[in-house]
Amino acid sequence: MNNYRIQNFVVLTLLIILNDQITFVAQAGAESKVHIVYLGEKQHDDPEFVTKSHHQMLWSLLGSKEDAHDSMVYSYRHGFSGFAAKLTKSQAKKIANLPEVVHVTPDTFYELATTRTWDYLGLSAANPKNLLNDTNMGEEVIIGIVDTGVWPESEVFNDNGIGPVPSHWKGSCESGEMFNSSHCNKKLIGAKYFINGFLAENESFNSTESLDFISPRDVNGHGTHVSTIAGGSPLPNISYKGLAGGTVRGGALRARIAMYKACWYLDDLEITTCSSADLLKAMDEAIHDGVDVLSLSIGYGIPFLPETDVRNGIATGAFHAVVKGITVVCSGGNSGPAAQTVGNTAPWILTVAATSLDRSFPTPITLGNNKAILGQAMYTGPELGFTSLVYPENPGNSNESFSGTCESLFFNSNLTMAGKVVLCFTTSTRYSTVSRAVSYVKRAGGLGVIIARNPGDNLAPCLDDFPCVAVDYELGTNILFYIRSTESPVVKIQPSRTLVGQPVGTKVADFSSRGPNSIAPAILKLCLGYPKQATPR
Ligand SMILES: *[C@@H]1O[C@H](CO)[C@@H](O)[C@H](O)[C@H]1NC(C)=O
Ligand SMILES: *[C@@H]1O[C@H](CO)[C@@H](O)[C@H](O)[C@H]1NC(C)=O
Ligand SMILES: *[C@@H]1O[C@H](CO)[C@@H](O)[C@H](O)[C@H]1NC(C)=O
Ligand SMILES: *[C@@H]1O[C@H](CO)[C@@H](O)[C@H](O)[C@H]1NC(C)=O
Ligand SMILES: *[C@@H]1O[C@H](CO)[C@@H](O)[C@H](O)[C@H]1NC(C)=O
Ligand SMILES: *[C@@H]1O[C@H](CO)[C@@H](O)[C@H](O)[C@H]1NC(C)=O
Ligand SMILES: *[C@@H]1O[C@H](CO)[C@@H](O)[C@H](O)[C@H]1NC(C)=O
């Protein structure tokens, strides 16, 4: 079974979840597994009738009404026709041979992903001459988000100054664990959850013990985060300890948000997973409810499935949504910076990458020889006056080949680093390398870290206002030469400042997946752009 999961990107802090696949031990032949039976465009407008035909098909296959009822997981009947049911391999084969069946596929699992930033893209709320003003900041637009759910108490869902719910909305706010209709308002206009596909695949999942809420409530934060990016209400004067200050807001400030929770947290594995059966049901309902835009920050691991491969549930659901005039936006994935990692490349989907900003956090470092260097950090503590500076070259054991790397700081005696600022080098692009290096230095009683690394890597604040400053290899080498040429090297570190605009160039974020498309390499990403019809629904 393949595995679809969440890839997380929290403002400047990044959690990259590995693309490893979960392989299951081959199971006994008669075991029932969730299969998706896809029947294509629906043949009837009455959803009840469509569902009835699904039950009949399953009944005639299984021979009993009760068995058909027990094995049915979902009936898809709004955007397209099909159903998810627990079937054995041979039953799946049999049903696939029916003339009205387009294809039958075992359920697959997906992972999560994200992006951000609007003013930088020219969508400033203060500018009267742009798309935002032309559309009254998206007031009549309903954005359906398929993700981990929503934390309705978050201030970004306040509905201050927003008009009544658009008349084309047919959805609702579903009750469940710690969630009821009182959690919806004119901003968060709908919330539903879809767990049957996941439960049918996992009998050992105990919903009582699970940390996740069996409701539209978000335990993970990803769904709340992506909703904020797309359509969050503006919250002025937000900053990280005074850095990066400004107004937090969604791209379309007045758009409505409807959450379709289809991704569930597995406590033991500490991952969030979304089954195709649940995703398809979420999309089917969203189409019925009247969303104008569908947003899925969810992806599939490498190797990708072609959009015409029926196992690609997102591409199939998206296709039917697009045919009905709904724009579908998906993340390209968080598998960068390697090439050929972009996913969700079906031509009817708008695929989004993440970018760095024209914003930086210069942090002055002054060496004992009075040479000033600008590093990057989110350090908001007091100035660290001239302090001893050390490059731990000889850890004093056989691990010399590791010496000077951030990873090897662990092997140094506490005495080497106590009371000092430590310089180290790393080629790792992982945030965990930085956080570990910092923990080794802290534990040894060190006072700061200067990390020389690839400048393309992401910046994250060090906790407890511990000075940890990133520099590129050139500056790191300059500092190293200074240390080697001086008997008692010292350094001063000042708090970071926020710099917006030049001279920082922007680029696709390091973690963001890159083209070319591994399925059609000649095409980076084809976008046919199905414009939404202007006629009111
Ligand atoms: C939006 O544009 C209209 C004219 O097209 C203008 O009257 C209005 O003031 C603008 N709104 C804002 C917030 O600038
Ligand atoms: C909904 O939940 C809130 C608190 O979470 C509670 O105060 C309220 O009574 C509930 N409303 C309904 C209709 O159950
Ligand atoms: C089922 O759930 C359990 C408990 O949360 C988890 O350990 C296990 O990995 C899950 N299995 C699958 C197939 O998702
Ligand atoms: C789930 O967990 C609860 C609480 O620990 C327990 O009482 C219940 O028996 C468990 N259910 C199953 C099906 O294991
Ligand atoms: C913004 O927040 C800061 C600190 O939280 C506060 O000192 C300042 O007065 C606030 N400014 C506005 C305009 O609310
Ligand atoms: C040297 O490094 C290896 C691998 O990280 C580690 O297992 C070993 O304990 C280290 N040796 C010493 C003397 O610290
Ligand atoms: C350094 O100090 C910490 C905390 O005092 C201690 O846990 C650790 O073992 C020491 N490490 C070495 C290499 O002495």
The average confidence (pLDDT) of the chain is: 82
Mean pLDDT of 143-156: 94
**Is there an atom of ligand 6 within 6 Å of 398 CB?**
yes
Centre of ligand 4 from the C-alpha of residue 50, in Å? 36
**pLDDT (tens digit, 9 = 90+) per residue, 495-505?**
988 777 655 55
Q: In this predicted structure, what is the pLDDT of residue 410? A: 82
Centre of ligand 3 from the C-alpha of residue 201, in Å? 9
Mutate to test the pocket of ligand 1, among 127, 133, 136, 249 (most ligand atoms within 8 A of CB): 133
**Is there an atom of ligand 1 within 6 Å of 128 CB?**
yes
Residue 19 half-sphere exposure, CB side, CA atoms within 13 Å?
18
**Is there an atom of ligand 4 within 6 Å of 209 CB?**
yes
Q: From the CA of 203, which ligand is nearest?
A: 3
Cβ atoms of 105 and 35 within 8 Å: the answer is yes
Cβ atoms of 108 and 1 within 8 Å: the answer is yes
In DSSP terms, 261 is beta-bridged to 147, 193
**Is there an atom of ligand 6 within 6 Å of 397 CB?**
yes
Q: In this predicted structure, what is the pLDDT of residue 506? A: 63
**pLDDT (tens digit, 9 = 90+) per residue, 90-128?**
999 999 999 999 989 888 887 655 434 566 666 666 666
Q: From the CA of 183, which ligand is nearest?
A: 2
Is residue 6's pLDDT more than 60?
Answer: no
**pLDDT (tens digit, 9 = 90+) per residue, 475-527?**
999 999 999 999 999 999 999 887 776 555 566 777 777 777 777 777 665 43
Closest residue by Cα to atom 13, ligand 4, is: 206
Q: In this predicted structure, what is the pLDDT of residue 123? A: 67
Centre of ligand 1 from the C-alpha of residue 4, in Å? 43
Q: Tell me which residue of 341, 320, 338, 395 sits closest to 77, measured CA to CA.
A: 320
Is residue 368's pLDDT more than 90?
Answer: yes
Share of the chain above pLDDT 70, in %: 83
Q: In this predicted structure, what is the pLDDT of residue 122? A: 63
**Is there an atom of ligand 3 within 6 Å of 266 CB?**
yes
Mean pLDDT of 129-154: 89
Q: In this predicted structure, what is the pLDDT of residue 527? A: 39
**pLDDT (tens digit, 9 = 90+) per residue, 415-442?**
889 999 999 999 887 777 888 889 999 9
- Residues whose CB falls within 8 Å of the CB of residue 126, separated by 6 or more in sequence, listed in order: none
Closest residue by Cα to atom 7, ligand 7, is: 443
Cβ atoms of 385 and 529 within 8 Å: the answer is no
Q: In this predicted structure, what is the pLDDT of residue 534? A: 31
Centre of ligand 2 from the C-alpha of residue 180, in Å? 6
Between 455 and 113, name the one with better pLDDT.
455
Cβ atoms of 464 and 443 within 8 Å: the answer is no
Q: Specify the ligand 7 atom closest to the Cα of 412.
A: 13
Interaxial angle between packed helices 313-323 and 276-289, expressed in degrees from 0 to 180 and rounded to the nearest 10: 10
Closest residue by Cα to atom 6, ligand 2, is: 182
Q: From the CA of 207, which ligand is nearest?
A: 4
**Is there an atom of ligand 4 within 6 Å of 208 CB?**
yes
Kindly tell me the sign of the dihedral angle through the C-alpha atoms of 386, 388, 391, 392. Answer: negative
Please give the full DSSP string across 187-236, using - where no structure is assigned. SEEEEEE--HHHHHH-TT--TTT-SS-SSSB-SSSHHHHHHHHHHPPPEE
Is residue 261's pLDDT more than 50?
Answer: yes
Centre of ligand 7 from the C-alpha of residue 443, in Å? 7
By mean pLDDT, which of 253-262, 288-297, 394-403 is the weakest? 394-403
Closest residue by Cα to atom 13, ligand 6, is: 397
**pLDDT (tens digit, 9 = 90+) per residue, 324-336?**
999 998 888 777 7
Mean pLDDT of 304-324: 84
Closest residue by Cα to atom 2, ligand 7, is: 444
The CA distance from 213 to 177, in Å, is 6
Is residue 461's pLDDT more than 90?
Answer: no
**pLDDT (tens digit, 9 = 90+) per residue, 118-136?**
666 666 666 667 777 788 8
Q: From the CA of 410, which ligand is nearest?
A: 7
Cα three-residue angle 319-77-44, rounded to 5 degrees: 100
**pLDDT (tens digit, 9 = 90+) per residue, 29-69?**
468 899 999 999 988 899 999 999 999 999 999 999 999 99
